[in-house]
Amino acid sequence: MNIEKLAARLETILDKKNIKINEPMSKHTTFRVGGNAKVLVLPSSIKEMMSVIELLKQENIDYIVIGNGSNLIVSDEGYDGVIIKTSKLNSIKVYGNIIEADCGAFISSISKIALENHLSGIECLSGIPGTIGGAVTMNAGAYNVEIKDVIYYTYVLNESGKIVKMTKDDLMLSYRKSILQNSNNILLSAALMLKPDCHEAIHSKMIEIQSKRVSTQPLNYPNAGSIFKRISGQPVGAIIENAGLKNTAIGGAKVSEKHANFIINTGNATAADIINLIKFVKKTVKNKANIDLETEVKIIY
């Protein structure tokens, strides 16, 4: 199906303004790099997203679902398919100690609502610049807390196009992994089970976490958070620093001086700069420390 015909079909499902043709992915990733997606769509409801996915499957068109693009690198060549961005699917509801959120809801927004309702459990995650959909899919974590610690249940669009309820056990959550990765199962919404606590204690913890992030992470530059997964017993940032790689740069991509497990876009980086720097860091650490680093960020070619 050519792009004009595809756009016409998509317009039967979505508002025209929510269909972007040849959309620069640098606008949709926190690294601020990446070539064009052939088409990017922004569904306004779960029903719309399901209808889009059904159409794309019928036409055998490749697609990827993204949240905030905060753990993502899109190559400079872009993506020859459809990107489904969930940012408009951001409903958040509170039922006692349970918060239900659609896949595009920001972790920061959920944390704010938890605070307003005196609910504790996600303070350590409050600074993650992503959505609940991405957080559950990769079992995101920070400061010794992971999303699996608070997940109660989820609703998932399975490979057959059916909505199924999945518990924490069903999701098979482990360090930066879930059953949703490398599959056609798509998280639609998630419910978090939190605990009542006083507003002051929750707020104080959130301020403490934000202070830690500001002091240890290069938040003033575009980045995608931790580049490499944790290695048991060894801080990855220290491993990279000990290999003499702090401040190493390729083009506009640079290993952060503040935290060596962060790569930053100093202003004019390309996706190739970042990808090549990741490869260089991995190779150097392997040669100097005999350690195999595994990337945490997802790369789309």
DSSP H helices in the chain: 3-10, 46-58, 107-116, 132-137, 168-171, 199-216, 236-242, 271-289
pLDDT in tens, 37-55: 999 999 999 999 999 999 9
- pLDDT for 137 equals 96
CATH topology of domain 218-300: 3.90.78
Reported confidence tier of residue 182, pLDDT bands at 50, 70, 90 = confident
Dihedral sign of CA atoms 72, 94, 180, 51 in order: negative
Span 92-215: which CATH code? 3.30.465.10
92-95 sheet: strands from edge to edge: 92-95, 98-102, 186-193, 151-157, 163-167
What average pLDDT score do residues 81-94 get? 98
Partners of 164 in beta bridges: 156
pLDDT tens digits for 190-223?
999 999 999 999 999 999 999 999 999 999 999 9
Ordered by start, the domain boundaries in the chain are: 3-85, 92-215, 218-300
Digit-coded pLDDT (tens) for 267-288: 999 999 999 999 999 999 999 9
Mean pLDDT, the chain, whole residue set: 97
What are 101-140's pLDDT values in tens digits?
999 999 999 999 999 999 999 999 999 999 999 999 999 9
Q: pLDDT tens digits for 8-35?
A: 999 999 999 999 999 999 999 999 999 9
pLDDT beyond 80 at 233 = no
Secondary structure tally for the chain: helices H, strands E: 8, 18
**pLDDT at position 149 over 80:** yes
Provide the pLDDT confidence category of residue 183 given band limits of 50, 70 and 90. confident
Q: Which residues pair with 65 in a beta bridge?
A: 84
Of all residues in the chain, what percent carry a pLDDT higher than 70? 100
pLDDT greater than 80 at residue 1: no
Is 76's pLDDT higher than 70?
Answer: yes
Q: What pLDDT shows up at residue 79?
A: 98
Please give the C-alpha separations between residue 77 and each of 22, 25, 39, 297, 301, in angstroms, as whole numbers. Answer: 11, 10, 14, 18, 7
Domain 3-85 has CATH 3.30.43.10: yes
Q: Indicate whether this model's pTM tops 0.85.
A: yes
**Which residues does the annotation mark as catalytic?**
176, 226, 296
Distance CA 140, CA 14 (A): 30
Can you tell me the distance from the alpha carbon of 32 to that of 233, in angstroms, rounded to the nearest whole number?
A: 32
